[in-house]
Amino acid sequence: MAHRSTLAAVSSVQLAAQLAGHVVALRRRRHFDVPFMAGSPEHLVRDWLWFGTAYSAPPYLLVPQLWATARLLRGPGAGSDDRARWVLRWLGTGLSVGYPSERWTRARLRPGGADPVETPVVVAGWGGALALAVLARR
């Protein structure tokens, strides 16, 4: 098991990448676009509430991640570290699959598709998600 502070730090970086991703998505009108459904630039904020953006998860996934990160930063408690790790492991696993399912993410990671703003956000977010999935294991 990863040390509590390491896991909290990785989760904090991943959350920061999602915040940056949300801002970039709003400014550049990057709606969610996965193989089985897509949002629209006109309804970006509404779609974010349910499906996220191209570079950030919806709020119902961010809130549990915030809770788990805060719980780990507060220190050990009766079983709460295990619950926080469980939340981060499953969120990290889900986001690890979610990032590459996004059309904009795949475009930014292809040769010749790099963007000086979007590519670092994608790499930090996806890398953080992968790290969460691995570090939060028992």
Q: Identify the pLDDT of residue 1.
A: 46
Strand partners for 33: 38
Run means of pLDDT, 10 residues per run, the chain, 138 residues: 84 97 96 93 91 94 96 76 94 96 95 96 97 92
Q: Identify the pLDDT of residue 58.
A: 95
Q: Identify the pLDDT of residue 74.
A: 87
Nearest in space to 18 (alpha carbons), one of 98, 116, 114: 98
Q: Identify the pLDDT of residue 78.
A: 53
pTM greater than the 0.85 cutoff: yes
